Amino acid sequence: MIVFVAAATLLAGVLVGWLLWPSRRRREVSAREANISIHRDQLRELEADLAAGKIAQDDYQRSRRELERRVLEDVSSSEAPTRRSMPWPVFAVIPIMAVAVYFVVGSPRMIQQQAEHAVTAQQVEAMVARLAARLRENPNDVDGWQLLGRSYSAMGRFAEAADAYARAATMAPRDAQVLADFADALAMARGQSLQGEPEKLVQRALEIDPKNLKALALLGTAAFERKDFQRAAEVWKRMLEHVPPGSEDARAIQANVDEALALKGGRVLRGEVRLSEKLKAQASPDDLVYIFARAVEGPPMPLAVARKRVRDLPTSFALDDTMAMAPGAKLSNYPRVVISARVSKSGNANPQPGDLQGASAPVANDASGVRVVIDSVVR
The model's pLDDT over 335-349, given as tens digits with 9 standing for 90+, comes to 999 999 999 998 888
Each residue's pLDDT tens digit, 274-313: 999 999 999 999 999 999 999 999 888 899 999 999 998 9
- pLDDT over 70 percentage in the chain: 72
Q: What is the pLDDT of residue 35?
A: 53
Taking the C-alpha atoms of residue 374 and residue 359, their distance in angstroms, rounded to an integer, is: 7
pTM: 0.52
pLDDT in tens, 67-79: 554 544 443 333 3
Say if strands 268-275 and 370-374 run parallel, antiparallel, or are unpaired. Answer: parallel
Report the range of poorest mean pLDDT among 9-13, 235-239, 255-259, 357-361.
9-13
- pLDDT for res 300: 87
pLDDT at 104: 42
Interval 353-379 mean pLDDT: 95
Identify which of 91-95, 124-128, 254-258, 332-336 has the greatest average pLDDT.
332-336
Burial class (CB in 10 A: 0-12, 13-18, 19+), 118: exposed
SS3 assignment, position 316: strand
Residues 54 and 60: beta-carbon distance below 8 Å? no
Distance CA 8, CA 114 (A): 9
DSSP letter, residue 362: P
